[in-house]
């Protein structure tokens, strides 16, 4: 089977070329419109049409080939079919993207380069309205906005970066002791993240660290952190009441950093969240940080942020970024409730899998 490509300035001329060479029974496999300049400078027209075709009428018309040249041709055919298949896939994807593009078709017609950037943001999990906003702000639909997709990527990423704010809760200043509590839904990685933070602060940053666990209904959960404290050789207290929390804080008042682990609450468990607020309420020094897993369904994430908002948290910690490619949920959450990001966790290993949040790292994880 001989698959060949024919190029001409109009589709009509390309069809004529096919007929001339392969006869009127030729089978047209695909047609494609291209920009002529990109292919060869010898074409003076703006557009170029390419037809992929093969002779019709079955194998009888073909010349017999040696087994060597047959194998070579099969290889070429396979390559051609491979490229046709991937072309079809990208066309399919583009149609899907355009269908959900909320009326951006006209913008894309003017600047086809913008489709690639748009697809990249959508694939990262950033919701359509925010993706559209980033493209608009990046000038994707202005005249020449899509001239170079590299340039457009740069401008759009800059817009995404503007939405991201980062903070370091443990940055040394003269405020004295830092007391940080991690709050959040069940199983998002609070205890694991505390262990990572404790190890990095004490071993790498040479800070004196103390741990407190507030989990008054699960002995195993308390043991989990106690074990980490033992390994690191740092003090640990379990506190189930005001008095016990007060005692633990007093005993560790010389420490640079105190990390407080809390029991995971279902975000519908407003009563428990309120209880925690009652417990923390009288300590102005305690700063809370909301831990959210990026694999959580977005609606759940939104509700969790709302209900834990009663505790007036100071930053987000996003966990389990290693479990999904669609990390754009981070950006979606920032649109719902703007708050700086302090840490990102990237796996189960303690203490390695944690990053201090930087705009650059977050952008790298997103795209």
Ligand X SMILES: Nc1nc2c(ncn2[C@@H]2O[C@H](COP(=O)(O)OP(=O)(O)OP(=O)(O)O)[C@@H](O)[C@H]2O)c(=O)[nH]1
Query: Among residues 190 and 287, whose Cβ is nearest to ligand X?
Result: 190
- Contact region with Mg ion (CB under 5 A), list: 57-65, 188-196, 240-248, 349-357: 188-196
Residue 188 interacts with ligand X (CB under 6 A): yes or no: yes
Alpha carbons 277 and 310: distance in angstroms, whole number: 7
Q: Quick check: 191 binds Mg ion (CB under 5 A)?
A: yes
**CA-wise closest residue to 352 among 143, 167, 185, 204:** 204
CB atoms within 10 A of CB 172: 10
Assess 213 for contact with Mg ion (CB under 5 A).
Answer: no
If the CB atoms of residues 149 and 191 are measured against ligand X, the closer one turns out to be 191
**Which of 35-43, 70-78, 114-122, 184-192 is the region at the interface with ligand X (rule: CB under 6 A)?**
184-192
Residue whose CB is less far from Mg ion, 221 or 258: 221
CB nearer to ligand X: pick between 235 and 266:
266
319 binds, among Mg ion, ligand X, none (CB under 5 to 8 A by kind): ligand X
Which does residue 52 touch among ligand X, Mg ion, none (CB within 5 to 8 A, set by kind)?
Answer: none
From 15, 124, 258, 353, residue interacting with ligand X (rule: CB under 6 A): 353
Mark residues 261-290: x for contact with ligand X by CB under 6 A, - for none.
Answer: --xx--------------------------
Whole-angstrom distance, CA of residue 245 vs CA of residue 266: 23
Residue indicated by tokens 């944690």: 354
Which of ligand X, Mg ion, none sits in contact with 186, Cβ below 5 to 8 A by type?
ligand X
Q: Point out which residues pair with 4 in neighbouring strands.
A: 53
Q: Which does 333 bind (CB under 5 to 8 A by kind): Mg ion, ligand X, none?
A: none
d(CA 2, CA 29): 12
Question: What one-character-per-residue DSSP string does 164-203 give?
Answer: --B--TT---TT--EEEEEE-STTSSHHHHHHHHHHIIII
CA 80 → CA 73, 111, 281, distances in Å?
A: 10, 29, 68
Q: Specify whether the CB–CB gap between 229 and 235 falls below 8 A.
A: yes
Establish if 191 lies at the interface with ligand X (CB under 6 A). yes
CB-based contacts of 282, cutoff 8 Å, min separation 6? 242
Name the DSSP letter for residue 64. Answer: P
Residue 346 near ligand X by CB under 6 A: yes
Answer for which of 83, 90, 186, 227 binds ligand X (CB under 6 A) is 186
Residue 146 found at the interface with ligand X (CB under 6 A): no
Under rule CB under 6 A, residue 323 binds ligand X: yes
DSSP designation for 323: G
Is residue 121 near ligand X by the rule CB under 6 A? no
What are the CA-CA distances from residue 207 to residues 104, 132, 196, 315 (Å)? Answer: 52, 45, 14, 21
Interatomic CA distance for residues 231 and 82, integer angstroms? 54
Interface with ligand X (CB under 6 A), residue from 82, 187, 278, 309 = 187
Chain positions contacting Mg ion, by CB under 5 A: 190-191, 221
Interface residue list for ligand X (CB under 6 A): 186-192, 221, 263-264, 319-320, 322-323, 345-348, 353
């Amino acid at each position: 089977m001989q698959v060949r490509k024919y190029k001409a300035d109009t589709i009509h001329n390309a069809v004529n070329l096919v007929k001339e060479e392969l006869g009127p029974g030729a089978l047209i496999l695909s047609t494609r419109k291209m920009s002529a300049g990109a292919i060869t400078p010898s074409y003076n027209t703006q557009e170029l049409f390419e037809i992929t075709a093969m002779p019709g009428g079955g194998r009888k018309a073909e010349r017999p080939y040696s087994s060597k040249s047959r194998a070579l041709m099969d290889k070429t055919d396979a390559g051609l079919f491979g490229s046709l298949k991937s072309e079809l896939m990208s066309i399919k994807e583009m149609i899907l993207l355009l269908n959900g593009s909320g009326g951006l078709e006209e913008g894309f017609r003017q600047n086809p380069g913008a489709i690639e950037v748009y697809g990249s943001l959508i694939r990262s999990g950033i919701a359509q309205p925010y993706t559209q906003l980033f493209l608009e702000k990046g000038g994707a639909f202005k005249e020449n906005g899509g001239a170079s997709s590299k340039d457009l990527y740069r401008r759009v990423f800059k817009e995404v970066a503007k939405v991201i704010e980062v903070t370091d809760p443990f940055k040394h200043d003269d405020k004295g002791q830092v007391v940080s509590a991690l709050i959040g839904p069940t199983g998002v990685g609070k205890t694991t993240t505390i262990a990572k933070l404790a190890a990095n602060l004490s071993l790498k940053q040479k800070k004196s660290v103390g741990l407190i666990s507030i989990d008054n209904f699960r002995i195993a959960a308390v043991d989990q952190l106690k074990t980490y404290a033992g390994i690191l050789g740092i003090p640990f207290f379990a506190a189930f009441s005001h008095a016990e929390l007060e005692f633990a804080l007093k005993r560790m008042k010389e420490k640079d950093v105190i990390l407080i682990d809390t029991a995971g609450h279902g975000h519908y468990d407003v009563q428990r969240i309120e209880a925690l607020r009652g417990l923390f309420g009288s300590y102005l020094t305690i700063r809370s940080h909301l831990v959210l897993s990026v694999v959580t369904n977005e609606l759940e994430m939104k509700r969790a942020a709302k209900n834990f908002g009663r505790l007036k948290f100071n930053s987000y910690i996003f966990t389990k970024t290693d479990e999904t490619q669609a990390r754009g949920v981070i950006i979606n959450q920032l649109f719902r409730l703007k708050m700086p990001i302090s840490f990102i966790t990237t796996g189960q290993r303690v203490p390695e899998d944690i990053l201090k949040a930087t705009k650059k790292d977050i952008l790298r994880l997103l795209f």
